[in-house]
Amino acid sequence: MQQKFSIFILLSLIIGTIACKKVDIQFGSDFVDVGTAQIIKVDTFGAELSTVFVDSFATSGLGTTLVGGYKDPIFGTIATQTYFQVAPPSYEDVYENILFDSLTLILKLNKNFYGDTTKPVHIDVSRVTDKIEPYDNGYTLYNVNSFKVDPTVLGSKDVIINPSQTDTIYIKLNPALGQEMLNMFIRKSDTVKTAETFLNFFKGIRISSNNSSELVFGCSDSVKLRIQYKKKDLYLLNKNIDFTITNKNLHFTNITVDRSTGSANIKDLGNGVGQLKEKNSRLSDNIAYIQSAGSVITKIKFPTVKDVLKAPNYAKILNARLIVRPVAGTYSRTFSLPATLRLSLTTSLNKIGTDLTEITASGSQQTQLGNLFTDYTYGVSTAYSYDVTNYIKYAITNPNNDYDGLLISPLSGGYETLFNRVAIGNKLNNIPNSKIELQIFYASVK
């Protein structure tokens, strides 16, 4: 009985001690009084934003065929042209007593799309007349590369993409070309016996669209150029010859953006005379922009963050979080936000460096992706968030000030093929719930 009473007295003392601790909360600087130490939160160190123009980026060997184009009220008119080579299957001597039926291009969708899925997409298939190869005899082709094509298209089609139902697109092509190619098999021509000899005859295919399209969608690299024919037997048998993509490192997409039809804030970004490679958000209505496939990403710097060292009784950084809020009204289900965005170290030349990582529950490191929450209903809670503790610690203790900020962009793979966009408000942006915010928690010792 006495032991129970002693435990009761001990618990009462502990509860009483905790109850006597005072918790002070102050707007703009929240802190908890723990005697001689306090944990203080400050959110007054603003992030400086700028929009960065990216000259070029590799689009070859990604396994994605981009089709279509659309008009973006912010970024302008966007168009894609995908190029690739095809090669015949291994030759077999089985092409006697056959009749040509059709020549068809077959595209398999990968379920990536951006724009208005209720509007038809016009597709043109053209024959490439140049040899598809890197200009520097290398192995990579870029978003700015292009090759000549025959002005007469091989085939066209208008399609409506239903993301949940559309799986395959079939485009009928010029039957004269199909008959010519089938005749090569019939007469056992060397042209169709190896990829090299066939590419001397048929250098490749370009898939493009026109200005009427309002959607970009992705297909896999399992494209097929199919000759369908009938073979005489007891019955007419339906047969086919499938040409598939060869040398996938030369399968790439050219992406063009006409900014004259978009927002005035980014019309002056580009490679032209008098155009900018980087534009401070203060010069673009306090907004910075991201659309990596459209050659635009955002740079973030923290020019005043060292001032935290001047805070009264500052001891050490405990935690720092970056909250990236897209500008309200700039995103919708049609113009959706990227599901993930990374933060990367960069240089004064705005090259993407090492990604900021986080420790998982299993103890491994993984790239931070922003934990996007999208509030389509009210638009007040939409945000990406990142742990930037280590980066801020480095920034405030680096004596040489040789850090160049962070770039925010999609991961490689999505960077080159996805058109989801973001507009980010700086600290001066006056649209509610649209400002980027750096939250720093530090220890203060009296």
Q: Within a domain: residue 3? A: no
| DSSP character at residue 324 | E
Looking at the structure, do residues 170 and 243 belong to the same domain, yes or no?
yes
Q: Pick 211 or 81 by higher pLDDT.
A: 81
What pLDDT is recorded for position 23? 38
At 4-58, the pLDDT tens digits run: 434 343 334 333 433 333 334 343 445 555 567 889 999 888 899 999 999 999 9
Q: Within a domain: residue 376? A: yes
Whole-prediction pTM: 0.87
| Cα–Cα distance, 419 to 337 (Å, whole number) | 9
Give SS3 for 162.
Answer: coil
- Tally of residues, the chain: 446
- Residue 98, token pair as written in the block: 């056959």
Looking at the structure, do residues 127 and 85 belong to the same domain, yes or no?
yes
| Cα–Cα distance, 397 to 319 (Å, whole number) | 15
Q: Within a domain: residue 2? A: no
Domain boundary pick from 224, 258, 292: 258
- Residue 358, token pair as written in the block: 């986080």
Q: How confident is the model at residue 312 (pLDDT cuts 50, 70, 90)?
A: confident
Percent above pLDDT 90 for the chain: 75
Looking at the structure, do residues 142 and 208 belong to the same domain, yes or no?
yes
The yes-or-no verdict on residue 2 having pLDDT over 60 is no
Q: Within a domain: residue 121? A: yes
Looking at the structure, do residues 156 and 290 belong to the same domain, yes or no?
no
Mean pLDDT for the stretch of residues 338-351: 94
Q: How confident is the model at residue 360 (pLDDT cuts 50, 70, 90)?
A: confident
Looking at the structure, do residues 141 and 244 belong to the same domain, yes or no?
yes
Residue carrying structure tokens 């990374």: 342
Q: Pick 29 or 151 by higher pLDDT.
A: 151
Give SS3 for 196.
Answer: helix
Q: Within a domain: residue 34? A: yes
At 368-407, the pLDDT tens digits run: 999 999 988 877 899 999 999 999 999 888 876 666 899 9
The yes-or-no verdict on residue 323 having pLDDT over 60 is yes
Looking at the structure, do residues 232 and 288 belong to the same domain, yes or no?
no
| Cα–Cα distance, 198 to 205 (Å, whole number) | 13
What pLDDT is recorded for position 180? 98
At 213-241, the pLDDT tens digits run: 999 999 999 999 999 999 988 888 999 99
Structural domain of 137 = 64-258
Domain boundary pick from 229, 258, 287: 258
Residues 6+ apart with CB under 8 A from 421: 72, 74, 75, 289, 290, 291, 294, 330, 331, 335, 337, 338
Q: Within a domain: residue 59? A: no
Looking at the structure, do residues 47 and 74 belong to the same domain, yes or no?
no
At 176-204, the pLDDT tens digits run: 999 999 999 999 999 999 999 999 999 99
Q: Within a domain: residue 271? A: no
The yes-or-no verdict on residue 161 having pLDDT over 50 is yes
Looking at the structure, do residues 47 and 118 belong to the same domain, yes or no?
no
Q: What are the Cα distances from residue 95, in Å, to 98, 173, 200, 228? A: 6, 21, 22, 12
As for how many domains the chain has, the answer is 2
- Residue 416, token pair as written in the block: 């080159």
Task: Please state, as a whole number, how many other Cβ atoms lie within 10 Å of the Cβ of residue 108.
Answer: 14
- Tell me which range, 78-87, 329-338, 368-377, 388-397, is most confidently predicted by mean pLDDT: 78-87
Give the chain's mean pLDDT.
89
Looking at the structure, do residues 433 and 333 belong to the same domain, yes or no?
yes
Looking at the structure, do residues 439 and 290 belong to the same domain, yes or no?
yes
Q: Within a domain: residue 141? A: yes
Domain boundary pick from 200, 226, 258: 258
Q: Rounded to an integer, what is the distance from CA 21 to the centroid of its chain?
A: 49
Looking at the structure, do residues 36 and 128 belong to the same domain, yes or no?
no
Looking at the structure, do residues 130 and 205 belong to the same domain, yes or no?
yes
